[in-house]
Structure 1
Amino acid sequence: MFARALQLVALSSLVLSAPACVSHSSTPMTGRVEVPLAERRIGQYISSGWSFDTSSFWIEGPEGVVVIDVQFLPSVAAEVIAAAERVTRKKVVAAIVLHANPDKFNGTATFQARGIEVWTAEQVLARIPEVFARRTEAFAERYAPDWPTAVPQPRSFGAATTTLKLAGLELKAHVLGPGCSPAHVVIEWGDHVFVGDLVANKAHAWLENGETEAWLQRLAEIEAMQPKHVHPGRGRSGGPELIANQREYLQAVLSLVAAEKPTLPPDPAAMQRVRAELERRYEGYRFPVFLEIGLPAVWRRMATGNATESPAAGPAEGPAEARPAGSNSQP
């Protein structure tokens, strides 16, 4: 069921998004490039729906360019490098993976083959082999030959928050706990934060981990950085309102699931009611199919917590029942 749902995501994305060409590039691209007028040292590449509208960002430094997140497909990773170098007229010298999801790490080898160092936190690196194996089973045949042939292997900068000195820039890499993945890196540069899928702009959340309450804590930690500019994993960049919108969305998920008084096994009809209400409230949000995988995870976690807290409810379900298979990453 899990692999089938992910394939539905890919198919729906292909239908919803048509390729676009980057007008300033001599090479046709499948995604598009945005360069904010307010800060021209930052650029954004947004992939097509076939690779989940995934954003990669770049920051131009005095000694080159740093890319944030290296895309879902090797071919798209090459487009990110080309776009960044054409816009800045400087070489990409480093890249950073923010969390262990294939749309963040699959392009690693494409960057490394060009002599570009790719970095992430130790906690994120440790999750990549398992996540890559699961997603390869679900996706490799569909995307062949545009799929990595080996497990992506960024370099670790360590397990604690640190300052990375790359391309003449000083980037603070905050190592955070679970949210949409089991571990996250958030990059802070001046009053900018690059947050990956902890924040989306006009897209449904990837809830497969079921860690919705922990995710809310991650948002509080990002707000404590007092950013003026927020660069999300999906959708266009914005201000702190993107964090507030993400919090409101996650709180809505928790409230709607709690109202159904969840028990195990999950009730398909009740989850459909929750999904329908989320789609109604957030009309126009991309990838509602993400909810097919995410809502059961939130339901199981909440139901397991309820069972643990209430003696009358009997013993809680074991770990294998508390989370669905493949609960560690997103497309």
Structure 2
Amino acid sequence: MFARALPLVTLASLVLSTPACVPHSSTPMTGRVEVPLAERRIGQYISSGWSFDTSSFWIEGPEGLVVIDVQFLPSVAAEVIAAAERVTRKKVVAAIVLHANPDKFNGTATFQARGIEVWTAEQVLARIPEVFARRTEAFAERYAPDWPTAVPQPRSFGAATTTLKLAGLELKAHVLGPGCSPAHVVIQWEDHVFVGDLVANKAHAWLEIGEAEEWLKRLAEIEAMKPKTVHPGRGRSGTLELVANQREYLQTVLSLVRAEKPTLPPDETAIRRVRSELERRYEGYRFPVFLEIGLPAVWRRLAAENTTDGPAEGAAEEPAQPAGSNPTSQP
């Protein structure tokens, strides 16, 4: 069951329809930009596969634009700003990071260098230095020189759910617990929610910390917000059907792993069986490589639950990357 994407217009059609006297940035676009026909105050930038088809969104307010998630590469962050301002003819004045993965926070300094405030929750901010250090070790050489030279440092709006008043908008920032990361922010505006990688449209889940059961609770919390439109971290926006699809996917992961009666250490042959079945059931989903680290993490989590002595060694909150693997390498 797949959620139907909302009708869209492209950046090209929007730019061609604007008056010729309006100045546009010369920043080239390596990704693509789409704006729902039904809600022209929201735009979506989708990066290329080189930076993992990552979505950033903007919301147009009376006093400027707010961007949701600031991208994996500084160059792409600049593209997001240029695209949003090109389409709307307004300035980006603020941005929000939804969770502590580099595709959400790496562009922070690019925004800040333009005088744009970047915000996140205290819990997310606390995770960024450790996550950035690990991802720098894995990725900096490959992406050099297009990689941050210092730890990204958004500002904290606090540790509790709050209302952010930015660009003349009132955005409810829900601070949620573990899912694909140890902490999340979900932004609610009118009948829209911006959920980051808690929901993906036709992409495999980022299960690095193995918290599939906690993740299901986050989906229930999103549904309780009663949105009409869900804006995911990957893929096009859609209805609450996207949340239902994500729940069914996570439940399938849990069911397949539990059927293998997981124990420690992880059984690599059994994990390959689970991955093969997931790829069969979700044929066409992007980034199956995410399963390289995700399925062992879920296995360790469920195996630890089956013990009577508490979590065993290897069931840490954020498991180390297996030697020789790169869980977020481009497919």
Q: Structure 1-normalised TM-score? A: 0.89
Q: 2:312 aligns with which of 310, 314, 318?
A: 318
Match of 2:297 in 1: 297
Match of 1:160 in 2: 160
Per-residue deviation at 1:325? 1.2
Match of 1:193 in 2: 193
Match of 1:142 in 2: 142
Question: Does the Cα contact within 8 Å between 2:11 and 2:34 map onto a contact in 1?
Answer: no
* SS at structure 1 position matched to 2:198: strand
Per-residue deviation at 1:316? 4.7
Q: What amino acid is aligned across from residue 195 of structure 2 in structure 1? A: V
* SS at structure 1 position matched to 2:153: coil
Per-residue deviation at 1:295? 0.1
Match of 1:232 in 2: 232
Question: Does the Cα contact within 8 Å between 1:22 and 1:29 map onto a contact in 2?
Answer: no
Match of 1:31 in 2: 31
More helix by share: 1
Match of 2:97 in 1: 97
The 1-side partners of 2:264 and 2:39 are apart by 49
The 1-side partners of 2:314 and 2:265 are apart by 12
Match of 2:18 in 1: none
Question: Does the Cα contact within 8 Å between 2:293 and 2:321 map onto a contact in 1?
Answer: no
Per-residue deviation at 1:319? 4.8
The 1-side partners of 2:100 and 2:313 are apart by 21
Per-residue deviation at 1:318? 3.3
1:73 aligns with 2:102: no
Per-residue deviation at 1:27? 4.0
Per-residue deviation at 1:161? 0.2
* SS at structure 2 position matched to 1:35: strand
Q: Give the total of aligned pairs.
A: 303
Per-residue deviation at 1:307? 1.2
Match of 2:247 in 1: 247
Question: Does the Cα contact within 8 Å between 1:131 and 1:326 map onto a contact in 2?
Answer: no
Match of 2:177 in 1: 177
The 2-side partners of 1:22 and 1:235 are apart by 17
Q: What amino acid is aligned across from residue 312 of structure 2 in structure 1? A: G
Q: What amino acid is aligned across from residue 136 of structure 1 in structure 2? A: T
Per-residue deviation at 1:22? 5.4
* SS at structure 1 position matched to 2:67: strand
1:110 aligns with 2:81: no
The 1-side partners of 2:67 and 2:316 are apart by 36
Per-residue deviation at 1:123? 0.3
Per-residue deviation at 1:28? 2.6
The 1-side partners of 2:193 and 2:34 are apart by 17
Tell me the alpha carbon deviations over residues 174-219 of structure 1, each in whole angstroms, 9 at most, x when there is no partner.
0000000000000000000000000000000000110000000000
Question: Does the Cα contact within 8 Å between 2:297 and 2:315 map onto a contact in 1?
Answer: no
- How high is the sequence identity, in percent, across the aligned residues? 87
The 2-side partners of 1:76 and 1:275 are apart by 31
Question: Does the Cα contact within 8 Å between 1:45 and 1:80 map onto a contact in 2?
Answer: yes
Tell me the alpha carbon deviations over residues 53-112 of structure 1, each in whole angstroms, 9 at most, x when there is no partner.
000000000000000000000000000000000001000000000000000000000000
* SS at structure 2 position matched to 1:307: coil
Match of 1:220 in 2: 220
The 1-side partners of 2:231 and 2:277 are apart by 27
Per-residue deviation at 1:321? 4.1
Per-residue deviation at 1:322? 4.2
Match of 2:6 in 1: none
Q: What amino acid is aligned across from residue 300 of structure 1 in structure 2? A: R
The 1-side partners of 2:180 and 2:311 are apart by 22
The 2-side partners of 1:35 and 1:278 are apart by 32
RMSD: 1.5
Q: What amino acid is aligned across from residue 164 of structure 1 in structure 2? A: L
Question: Does the Cα contact within 8 Å between 1:46 and 1:55 map onto a contact in 2?
Answer: yes
Question: Does the Cα contact within 8 Å between 2:203 and 2:234 map onto a contact in 1?
Answer: yes
The 1-side partners of 2:311 and 2:163 are apart by 41
Match of 1:50 in 2: 50
Gaps of 5+ in 1: 1-20, 309-314
Match of 1:4 in 2: none
Q: Structure 2-normalised TM-score? A: 0.89
Match of 1:17 in 2: none
Match of 1:261 in 2: 261
The 2-side partners of 1:98 and 1:316 are apart by 31
The 1-side partners of 2:68 and 2:192 are apart by 13
